[in-house]
Amino acid sequence: MIAAFPALSDLNNKNVWRGHVMGKSQSLLLNVVRGFLSLRAGKCLAYSQLQSARVNRDLDVEAIRFNNTEVREWKCREVPYKQQNNSLNLIFVGRFQRRKKLQKLIDLALRCPAVCVRLIGPGMENLSVPGELYHTGRVECYEKMSGEDLDSHFDWADLVASPGDAGLLVMNAARHQKGIIIDSSGLHAPEYWLAKETNQPFIDFSNEDAVHDFVSSALENPAIVEEWGESLQEIARKRYTIEYMEAARMYVLGYLR
Protein backbone atom coordinates (compact mmCIF):
# COMPACT_ATOMS: atom_id res chain seq x y z
CA MET A 1 0.00 0.00 0.00
CA ILE A 2 2.81 2.41 0.89
CA ALA A 3 4.48 1.70 -2.43
CA ALA A 4 1.48 3.24 -4.16
CA PHE A 5 2.38 6.68 -2.79
CA PRO A 6 4.62 8.97 -4.84
CA ALA A 7 8.40 8.83 -4.47
CA LEU A 8 9.89 10.99 -1.72
CA SER A 9 10.87 14.48 -2.83
CA ASP A 10 14.16 16.06 -1.90
CA LEU A 11 12.58 19.19 -0.40
CA ASN A 12 14.12 21.55 2.11
CA ASN A 13 10.86 22.23 3.89
CA LYS A 14 9.89 19.35 6.19
CA ASN A 15 6.51 20.60 7.42
CA VAL A 16 3.43 18.40 6.99
CA TRP A 17 -0.10 19.81 6.92
CA ARG A 18 -2.74 17.41 8.22
CA GLY A 19 -6.49 17.94 8.52
CA HIS A 20 -9.50 19.33 6.68
CA VAL A 21 -7.27 21.87 4.85
CA MET A 22 -9.88 22.97 2.31
CA GLY A 23 -12.78 23.62 4.68
CA LYS A 24 -16.33 24.78 3.97
CA SER A 25 -15.51 28.49 4.19
CA GLN A 26 -13.86 30.10 1.19
CA SER A 27 -13.42 33.59 2.64
CA LEU A 28 -10.61 35.72 1.24
CA LEU A 29 -8.86 35.84 4.61
CA LEU A 30 -8.87 32.06 5.03
CA ASN A 31 -7.62 31.57 1.49
CA VAL A 32 -4.72 33.93 2.26
CA VAL A 33 -3.93 31.90 5.40
CA ARG A 34 -4.08 28.65 3.43
CA GLY A 35 -1.72 30.09 0.87
CA PHE A 36 0.68 31.21 3.59
CA LEU A 37 0.69 27.79 5.23
CA SER A 38 1.05 25.99 1.93
CA LEU A 39 4.37 27.75 1.32
CA ARG A 40 5.68 26.03 4.46
CA ALA A 41 4.24 22.59 3.81
CA GLY A 42 6.13 19.97 1.88
CA LYS A 43 3.35 17.39 2.16
CA CYS A 44 -0.31 17.31 3.12
CA LEU A 45 -2.45 14.58 4.69
CA ALA A 46 -5.98 15.46 3.56
CA TYR A 47 -9.18 13.89 4.86
CA SER A 48 -10.65 12.88 1.48
CA GLN A 49 -9.75 12.29 -2.15
CA LEU A 50 -11.74 15.41 -3.08
CA GLN A 51 -9.68 17.53 -0.69
CA SER A 52 -6.44 15.96 -1.88
CA ALA A 53 -7.25 16.92 -5.46
CA ARG A 54 -8.10 20.50 -4.45
CA VAL A 55 -4.89 20.89 -2.45
CA ASN A 56 -2.82 19.59 -5.36
CA ARG A 57 -4.58 21.94 -7.76
CA ASP A 58 -5.10 25.12 -5.73
CA LEU A 59 -2.16 25.10 -3.29
CA ASP A 60 0.44 23.19 -5.30
CA VAL A 61 1.28 20.91 -2.38
CA GLU A 62 1.60 17.14 -2.71
CA ALA A 63 -1.51 15.88 -0.92
CA ILE A 64 -1.98 12.30 0.21
CA ARG A 65 -5.42 10.86 0.85
CA PHE A 66 -5.59 10.27 4.62
CA ASN A 67 -9.28 9.33 4.93
CA ASN A 68 -10.01 10.13 8.57
CA THR A 69 -11.60 7.09 10.21
CA GLU A 70 -11.96 5.21 13.49
CA VAL A 71 -12.35 1.65 12.16
CA ARG A 72 -9.71 -1.04 11.77
CA GLU A 73 -9.98 -3.41 8.83
CA TRP A 74 -10.32 -6.52 11.01
CA LYS A 75 -13.36 -5.02 12.76
CA CYS A 76 -15.40 -5.00 9.54
CA ARG A 77 -18.21 -7.55 9.71
CA GLU A 78 -19.65 -9.55 6.82
CA VAL A 79 -23.37 -9.65 7.53
CA PRO A 80 -25.58 -11.79 5.24
CA TYR A 81 -28.39 -9.58 3.98
CA LYS A 82 -31.99 -10.63 4.41
CA GLN A 83 -34.89 -8.23 4.04
CA GLN A 84 -37.30 -8.82 6.91
CA ASN A 85 -41.10 -8.77 6.97
CA ASN A 86 -41.42 -6.70 3.78
CA SER A 87 -40.32 -3.63 5.72
CA LEU A 88 -37.47 -1.18 5.29
CA ASN A 89 -35.53 -0.96 8.54
CA LEU A 90 -33.49 2.24 8.91
CA ILE A 91 -30.89 2.95 11.59
CA PHE A 92 -29.03 6.05 12.74
CA VAL A 93 -26.20 5.96 15.29
CA GLY A 94 -24.72 9.14 16.71
CA ARG A 95 -25.34 12.13 18.92
CA PHE A 96 -28.62 14.00 18.68
CA GLN A 97 -27.97 17.37 17.01
CA ARG A 98 -30.36 19.68 15.18
CA ARG A 99 -28.22 19.60 12.05
CA LYS A 100 -28.69 15.82 11.84
CA LYS A 101 -32.43 16.40 11.14
CA LEU A 102 -33.43 13.11 12.75
CA GLN A 103 -37.06 14.14 13.09
CA LYS A 104 -37.32 13.57 9.34
CA LEU A 105 -36.85 9.83 9.88
CA ILE A 106 -39.69 9.78 12.39
CA ASP A 107 -41.89 11.73 9.98
CA LEU A 108 -40.97 9.24 7.25
CA ALA A 109 -42.08 6.32 9.43
CA LEU A 110 -45.35 8.15 10.10
CA ARG A 111 -46.00 8.56 6.37
CA CYS A 112 -44.76 5.14 5.22
CA PRO A 113 -46.11 2.11 7.11
CA ALA A 114 -43.33 -0.07 5.67
CA VAL A 115 -40.57 1.99 7.34
CA CYS A 116 -39.20 1.16 10.80
CA VAL A 117 -36.54 3.28 12.49
CA ARG A 118 -33.99 2.84 15.28
CA LEU A 119 -32.18 5.90 16.63
CA ILE A 120 -29.21 5.20 18.88
CA GLY A 121 -27.11 7.73 20.77
CA PRO A 122 -27.09 10.39 23.48
CA GLY A 123 -29.86 12.97 23.38
CA MET A 124 -32.47 10.91 21.51
CA GLU A 125 -34.98 11.75 24.27
CA ASN A 126 -35.22 15.19 22.64
CA LEU A 127 -37.05 13.68 19.67
CA SER A 128 -40.82 13.69 19.46
CA VAL A 129 -42.16 10.20 18.66
CA PRO A 130 -45.92 9.87 18.03
CA GLY A 131 -47.62 7.34 20.31
CA GLU A 132 -48.72 5.08 17.48
CA LEU A 133 -45.11 4.65 16.32
CA TYR A 134 -43.76 4.24 19.83
CA HIS A 135 -46.29 1.64 20.98
CA THR A 136 -46.01 -0.46 17.81
CA GLY A 137 -42.20 -0.38 18.00
CA ARG A 138 -41.85 1.13 14.54
CA VAL A 139 -39.67 3.91 15.97
CA GLU A 140 -37.29 2.99 18.80
CA CYS A 141 -34.81 5.26 20.58
CA TYR A 142 -31.82 3.96 22.51
CA GLU A 143 -29.11 5.51 24.65
CA LYS A 144 -25.48 5.58 23.58
CA MET A 145 -24.01 2.21 22.55
CA SER A 146 -20.67 1.21 21.09
CA GLY A 147 -18.70 -1.80 19.92
CA GLU A 148 -20.39 -5.19 19.86
CA ASP A 149 -23.50 -3.81 21.56
CA LEU A 150 -24.42 -2.32 18.18
CA ASP A 151 -24.07 -5.55 16.21
CA SER A 152 -27.63 -6.80 16.70
CA HIS A 153 -29.06 -3.40 15.74
CA PHE A 154 -27.10 -3.27 12.51
CA ASP A 155 -28.11 -6.88 11.82
CA TRP A 156 -31.73 -5.71 12.12
CA ALA A 157 -31.22 -2.79 9.75
CA ASP A 158 -31.54 -2.79 5.98
CA LEU A 159 -29.91 0.61 5.56
CA VAL A 160 -28.25 3.35 7.58
CA ALA A 161 -29.96 6.73 7.13
CA SER A 162 -28.50 10.23 7.47
CA PRO A 163 -31.19 12.86 6.76
CA GLY A 164 -28.85 15.72 7.76
CA ASP A 165 -25.11 16.31 7.79
CA ALA A 166 -23.08 13.10 7.44
CA GLY A 167 -19.56 12.23 8.57
CA LEU A 168 -18.08 9.25 10.40
CA LEU A 169 -21.44 7.46 10.25
CA VAL A 170 -20.55 6.47 6.68
CA MET A 171 -17.61 4.37 7.86
CA ASN A 172 -19.71 2.90 10.66
CA ALA A 173 -22.20 1.72 8.05
CA ALA A 174 -19.35 0.19 6.04
CA ARG A 175 -18.05 -1.65 9.08
CA HIS A 176 -21.37 -3.48 9.37
CA GLN A 177 -21.76 -3.97 5.58
CA LYS A 178 -24.84 -1.76 5.33
CA GLY A 179 -25.52 0.80 2.66
CA ILE A 180 -26.29 4.38 3.66
CA ILE A 181 -28.86 6.92 2.44
CA ILE A 182 -27.57 10.49 2.66
CA ASP A 183 -29.36 13.81 2.26
CA SER A 184 -28.29 15.37 -1.03
CA SER A 185 -28.29 18.92 0.36
CA GLY A 186 -26.42 18.37 3.65
CA LEU A 187 -23.17 20.10 4.63
CA HIS A 188 -21.24 16.88 5.00
CA ALA A 189 -17.87 16.25 6.64
CA PRO A 190 -15.05 14.92 4.39
CA GLU A 191 -15.73 11.34 5.51
CA TYR A 192 -18.87 11.35 3.34
CA TRP A 193 -16.68 10.94 0.23
CA LEU A 194 -16.63 7.18 0.74
CA ALA A 195 -20.38 7.20 0.05
CA LYS A 196 -19.88 9.22 -3.13
CA GLU A 197 -17.10 6.93 -4.28
CA THR A 198 -19.27 3.83 -3.88
CA ASN A 199 -22.45 5.29 -5.42
CA GLN A 200 -24.56 5.20 -2.29
CA PRO A 201 -28.03 6.78 -2.65
CA PHE A 202 -28.20 10.55 -2.12
CA ILE A 203 -31.78 11.83 -1.90
CA ASP A 204 -33.50 15.07 -0.95
CA PHE A 205 -35.09 14.27 2.41
CA SER A 206 -37.15 17.47 2.19
CA ASN A 207 -38.89 16.14 -0.94
CA GLU A 208 -41.58 13.73 0.31
CA ASP A 209 -42.29 12.32 -3.15
CA ALA A 210 -38.61 11.56 -3.78
CA VAL A 211 -38.26 9.85 -0.39
CA HIS A 212 -41.44 7.82 -0.93
CA ASP A 213 -40.22 6.73 -4.38
CA PHE A 214 -36.90 5.69 -2.88
CA VAL A 215 -38.58 3.58 -0.19
CA SER A 216 -40.78 1.86 -2.78
CA SER A 217 -37.78 1.16 -5.01
CA ALA A 218 -35.72 -0.25 -2.14
CA LEU A 219 -38.54 -2.56 -1.12
CA GLU A 220 -38.92 -3.83 -4.66
CA ASN A 221 -35.16 -4.28 -5.25
CA PRO A 222 -33.52 -5.91 -2.21
CA ALA A 223 -30.56 -6.92 -4.40
CA ILE A 224 -29.53 -3.29 -4.89
CA VAL A 225 -29.85 -2.67 -1.14
CA GLU A 226 -27.48 -5.57 -0.53
CA GLU A 227 -25.11 -4.30 -3.24
CA TRP A 228 -24.86 -0.86 -1.58
CA GLY A 229 -23.64 -2.48 1.62
CA GLU A 230 -21.16 -4.76 -0.12
CA SER A 231 -19.62 -2.04 -2.29
CA LEU A 232 -19.39 0.38 0.64
CA GLN A 233 -17.49 -2.14 2.75
CA GLU A 234 -15.28 -3.36 -0.12
CA ILE A 235 -13.84 0.09 -0.82
CA ALA A 236 -13.76 1.01 2.87
CA ARG A 237 -11.54 -1.97 3.66
CA LYS A 238 -9.12 -0.97 0.90
CA ARG A 239 -8.81 2.77 1.50
CA TYR A 240 -10.73 3.95 4.57
CA THR A 241 -9.36 2.05 7.57
CA ILE A 242 -6.92 2.94 10.32
CA GLU A 243 -4.42 0.63 8.60
CA TYR A 244 -4.59 2.80 5.47
CA MET A 245 -4.12 5.94 7.58
CA GLU A 246 -1.09 4.38 9.25
CA ALA A 247 0.43 3.61 5.85
CA ALA A 248 0.03 7.25 4.84
CA ARG A 249 1.50 8.41 8.14
CA MET A 250 4.51 6.12 7.76
CA TYR A 251 5.13 7.48 4.29
CA VAL A 252 5.19 11.02 5.68
CA LEU A 253 7.44 9.99 8.58
CA GLY A 254 9.91 8.74 5.99
CA TYR A 255 9.68 12.10 4.27
CA LEU A 256 10.35 13.95 7.53
CA ARG A 257 13.51 11.94 8.08
Locate the domains of the chain by residue range.
2-69+241-256, 75-238
Question: Lowest mean pLDDT: which of 73-82, 121-130, 163-172, 197-206?
Answer: 73-82
What's the average model confidence in pLDDT over 82-108? 91
Task: Tell me the Cα Rg of the chain.
Answer: 20
Reported as a single tens digit per residue, the pLDDT across 138-151 is 999 999 999 899 99
Predicted structure pTM score: 0.82
User: What is the secondary structure of 177-236 as a DSSP string?
Assistant: T-EEEEETT----GGGHHHHHTT--EE-TT-HHHHHHHHHHHHH-HHHHHHHHHHHHHHH
Residue 213 or 52, more confident: 213
Mean pLDDT in residue range 95-106? 95
Q: Convert the pLDDT of each residue in 214-237 to its tens digit.
A: 999 999 999 999 999 999 999 999
The pLDDT confidence band at residue 256, using thresholds 50, 70 and 90, is: low
pLDDT at 9 over 70: no
Chain mean position to CA 44: 22
Indicate if the pLDDT at residue 3 is higher than 50: no
- Give 14-69 pLDDT, tens digit per residue: 677 776 766 665 666 766 666 666 666 677 777 777 777 777 777 777 777 777 78
Domain 75-238 has CATH 3.40.50.2000: yes
Tell me, what's the pLDDT at 6?
Answer: 41
Query: Would you place residue 12 in the very low, low, confident or very high pLDDT band (cuts 50, 70, 90)?
Result: very low
DSSP the chain: -GGGSPPPP--S---EEEE--S-S---HHHHHHHHHHHTT-SEEEESSHHHHHHIIIII--EEEE-------GGG---------TT-EEEEEES---GGG-THHHHHHHHH-TTEEEEEESTTGGGS---HHHHHHTSEEEE----GGGGHHHHHH-SEEEESS--STHHHHHHHTT-EEEEETT----GGGHHHHHTT--EE-TT-HHHHHHHHHHHHH-HHHHHHHHHHHHHHHHHHSSHHHHHHHHHHHHHHH-
Is residue 206 over pLDDT 70?
yes
pLDDT of residue 2: 37
